Structures are given as structure tokens and as C-alpha cells.
A = this chain, B = another copy of it.
């Protein structure tokens, strides 16, 4: 079923049908009624492929995320969906599993669909990826981070700043003997930035991390629990442990619950992300809320505000808030 079929049934020209279906230009009520009836009668489904080819205006948005394994990027994706909803644009989603070569392939495949814009997590791309994104001329939003210069738009928060502020927060509460529990930095550059910020805060006070246990793999509750056990076994006397994120920190809280360690009184625990699960613990987790939904939503809104790529780069800071919780 094509426009031509509808046009024949409605006894008008193709372009009239096209205009009516797109609500464009002045149309008589008679024609509109006839066309809408014909559309219903023949069960016409528009072909956006043809429409996009003819108009060179696709309503697809490429989305490239590193992972869907924890709730962080699904939250970003929710924000993207929410931002896209009013405009009727559709996201085409790719997942890289933190592999820059896979990302390169993916970006190539997505650009072939002539998307109206591209949303991609992080700043770590191959040269080819970066060049293609630049050359595409479409709007490109790089998400999560604002600690580097974007191709076009950056939307996120300063992870170095967040790490620094968590350090300041713990120092202000009197903690002095710091440990750190983390996960794979190769895959999570932002966790490393937070760690750097934390170290700087300690350094400014003449302190340093007394010990750290870094899991060689992705973050998880279970990894957090095991790494805290290891850290405490190795280095007694710590009074505060910062975790690379909430998943890890919740594991830490579980370890404490299972071993009679009282969070805060015996040991301060501090996370990052502000996940629901941390706030639902018997003692809510002290952490930093990272506004992931907002990052996705704001990215879309920034793209939509100016569909053409302007000369200067744009950096949008979605910020973060310290959540006091009860564990620090």
C-alpha cells in the first residue's frame, strides 16, 4: 500500500495525500475527509524510509551506550526517551560493552541511517570515530562527563569534582583514616576521575589513602562486599571507606551487616550515584546523586534547541548533590 493507492481511492493526487498526512499547507476539509477515509480503508502505513530519502530529514537519533548491565545507562536511556517523546523522534540504540572498536563500527552503522543527531557516552573514541562524528555535521552529544572538551555538546557532571567533594564531606565529619574500594579503571574512566578528586581532597589536608582494594572487573554488589572484606582484613583501623559507586558500596554495607560492623559509628561508607537501592537500605547510604535521567533528557533538549551545529562547543553541567544518608 503506497501513497498512490490512497490517492487513487480518494481521487486526489499523491502530493495532496502526503500533505494531509503531514499536516502541511492549506487543505480543504473535503479533501482531508476523503483522504483520511481512504487511508483507513486501505490500511495505509506510511513509509518513512522513502519519506526520509526524499526530504533528507530523518527522525532517527543514534544512541551509543557502553553497557546496559547496571541501572545507570538504562536511566540515561529513559531520560533520552523522555526528551524525545514530544518530538516523535526514535532512538536507534547500540551497545559497545566498553569496546572502542565496537563503538567505531556502531557509529559507522548508525551514521548510515542519516540520524538527525547522535548521543554517545563518554569522550573515549578512536580517531576514526571522532573524525566521522565531526564530519557528519549533525549534532553530537557526549554524555556523563564534562572533564574534557567535547566534539559538539557535553552533558554531565565533573567526576573529579564529585570525588573531591565526597572527600571534603568525609573530612568535615572528622574521618581521617581512609580506604578505597573500587573496580576496573580500564573500563570506567569516570570512576578513576572520582578517585583522583578524592585523593586531591585528602592531599590538601595532608592525608592520603591508607589502602585500597580494586576489583579487576565490572562493579557489582558482590564485588563490593568481597573487596571491603579484603581491605579490612589487610588494613585494620580504617574509619572511612569510599567506594567507586553505589553498587560496590551497597555490597560494603552488606558486609558490615553480616559482620557486626556498625556503619558510621565503626566505619563510614560512601558511594556514588544515588541509586534507589542504597536509599532503601536499613541505613540509607551516604552518596552523591548523579542525575542520570536528567543527563539523557537535557542532552536531547540541547540538541533539539539548535538542530544545526553551532560554531562553539556547548558544555552543560547537570551537577550532583551529596546525599547525607546514614553511613557517614
Contact = CB atoms under 8 A, between A and B. Distances in A.
Interface of A: 43, 45-50, 52-53, 58, 60, 68-71, 73-75, 77-78, 81, 88, 90-95, 108-114, 132, 135-136, 220-222, 225, 250-251, 254, 257-258, 276-277, 279-282
Copies in the complex: 2
Contacts of A113: 48-49, 60, 90
Contacts of A220: 276, 280
A68 B58 contact: no
Among A71, A112, A222, chain B packs the most CB atoms within 10 A around the CB of A112
Given A74-B71, A90-B113, A221 B49 contact: no
Question: Chain A at the B interface: mostly helix, strand, loop or mixed?
Answer: helix
B95 A109 contact: no
Contacts of A109: 88, 90
Contacts of A73: 74
Given A49-B49, A222-B280, 10 more contacts: A43-B135, A45-B136, A49-B114, A50-B53, A68-B77, A73-B74, A81-B95, A90-B92, A91-B93, A258-B282
